[in-house]
Amino acid sequence: MKRVSLFLFLSALLTLPAASSTSAPGALGVELGKPLTVMTRNLYVGADLFEVMQAERPEQVPLLVAKVFRTIVKNSILNRAQGLADEVARVQPDAIGLQEVSLIRLQSPGDFLRGNPQSAQIVIYDFLATLLLTLKERGLEYEIAASVENADIEMPMYAGGDQNGPKLDDVRLTDRDVLLVRKGLQYENVVAKNFQTNLKVPIGGVEINFTRGFVASTVTVRGRQYRIVNVHLETGGKPPFTLIQAAQMQELLAHLNSESLPTILLGDFNSAPTDPATQPYHQARSSGFVDLWDRAHPFSSGYTCCQDPELDNSSSKLSARIDHIFVRNNLNRALPFSLIGLARVERLGYQVTQEGLALWPSDHAGVAAQLKLPFIFQ
């Protein structure tokens, strides 16, 4: 009987007419919100950075860094941004969560072996500036609502040699997560935070701290406010990665615990539905968040990761779903569950669609969703 009553309650709730100025005092109204479109995209630095971790001795590091750097140059963001802009032009999102928004700088000759007294400053690639310019050239203007700097790592790179010996440059990678909003939208209450728990990576006998973080902002779209959060968690797979990943997710959920606005949580979680219950995907679900892809496509794998690091595989190699859009809409914490309403969800960049561009704009596929979240008011 309780299940029937709950079903009837929800059915009535979603079919009630919207309240108006003539509604009786205390009358309950339900309105299906106007469209909100969001998108998540891992831009991919352009190479597998963990190749450098193969260094067993310090003298191996410059050669491995040079190898990774050559791959980044080959997979230049200057070319890949065209494919990413095509996706934005088609989806027309109100907000975009971006991960691996790299800033790559150079110092030549390098001073790393002299204690690195001066950090590299010559900009080689600025993924954010490149993407924003590419979008603007297509008449798509977005503003930076929030940005967080994560890992900031500088390492020596072999750059050739002569009779005087090998030449070493320094390469500096700054990792960022960014939330973009369509120009003209109001945003406020911005948060940009790094996690307290992060991976420490041993490279050639030196320990490197690979910091990650998240950004959040309250964005007003067509008269409604939403809390939009973008995150990139540590990679998973096995300990200690999975332990760090779960700790980061716990930090994020604790930050969102008291949030009453409809919350859109999107990003690269490095966690799939097939993961153990202790991992981020299930942590989100246990905290009241609904997986939009699962809601819209319950019988589709929806894989988003990963193509070859070189981005030159002729057919897709996506085999895991780790990029997600979660929603929690419990009507100002009035309900113990989320009301989602209508949602249309799709993947981006998971198949070859254009000629003349880099085969894959990223090693990840993106996810986009258009929502009409229900609102209740009196």
pLDDT band of residue 65 (cuts 50, 70, 90) is very high
Position 325, amino acid: I
Between the CA atoms of 237, 216, 178 and 268, what dihedral angle is there, to the nearest 10 degrees? 20
Alpha-carbon distances of 187 from 48, 141, 182, 191, 264, rounded to whole Å: 34, 15, 10, 11, 14
Distance CA 194, CA 233 (A): 11
pLDDT higher than 60, residue 154: yes
Direct distance between the N- and C-terminal alpha carbons of the chain, in angstroms, rounded to an integer: 28
Give 150 or 164, the one with higher predicted confidence: 150
Structural domain harbouring 342 = 32-377
* d(C-alpha 262, C-alpha 292), whole Å: 14
* Whether pLDDT at 331 is above 90: no
CA–CA distance, 103 with 123 (Å, rounded to integer): 7
The candidate with the shortest Cα–Cα distance to 145, out of 111, 182, 181, 118, is 181
H or E segment to which residue 173 belongs: strand 165-182
- CA proximity to 37, closest of 219, 240, 261, 294: 219
DSSP state of 265: E
Give me 281's structure tokens: 């995907």
Model-level pTM?
0.90
Residues contacting 309, CB < 8 A, separation 6+: 47, 48, 71, 363
Lowest model confidence (mean pLDDT) among 121-125, 205-209, 251-255, 314-318:
205-209
Evaluate whether residue 84 is within a structural domain: yes
Q: Is-contact 82 72, C-beta < 8 A?
A: no
Instruction: Tell me which residue has tokens 């200690």.
Output: 240
Task: Confirm whether 13 is domain-assigned.
Answer: no
Does 21 reside within a domain? Answer: no
Q: How many CB atoms lie within 10 A of CB 71?
A: 17
Asked whether residue 22 is assigned to any structural domain, the reply reads no
Range of weakest confidence among 49-53, 72-76, 133-137, 141-145: 49-53
- Per residue in 238-260, pLDDT (tens digit) is 888 999 999 999 999 999 999 99
The larger pLDDT score, comparing residue 144 to residue 377, is at 144
According to DSSP, residue 49 is labeled G
In a domain, 26, yes or no: no
* CATH label of the domain that carries residue 254: 3.60.10.10
The answer to the question of residue 25 being in a domain is: no
Total number of domains in the chain: 1
User: 128 or 336, which is more confident?
Assistant: 128
Burial profile 132-160: b = 16 or more Cβ within 10 angstroms, e = fewer = bebbeeeebebebbbbbebbebbbbbbbe
Q: Is residue 320 part of a domain?
A: yes
Shortest CA distance to 41 belongs to which of 311, 320, 340, 347? 347
Stretch among 20-29, 65-74, 165-174, 329-338 having the lowest mean pLDDT:
20-29
| Residue 144, phi then psi, degrees to nearest 5 | -85, 105
Give pLDDT, residue 150: 98
Domain presence at residue 12 = no
pLDDT of amino acid 85: 97
Categorize the per-residue pLDDT at 7 as very low, low, confident or very high, splitting at 50, 70 and 90.
Answer: very low
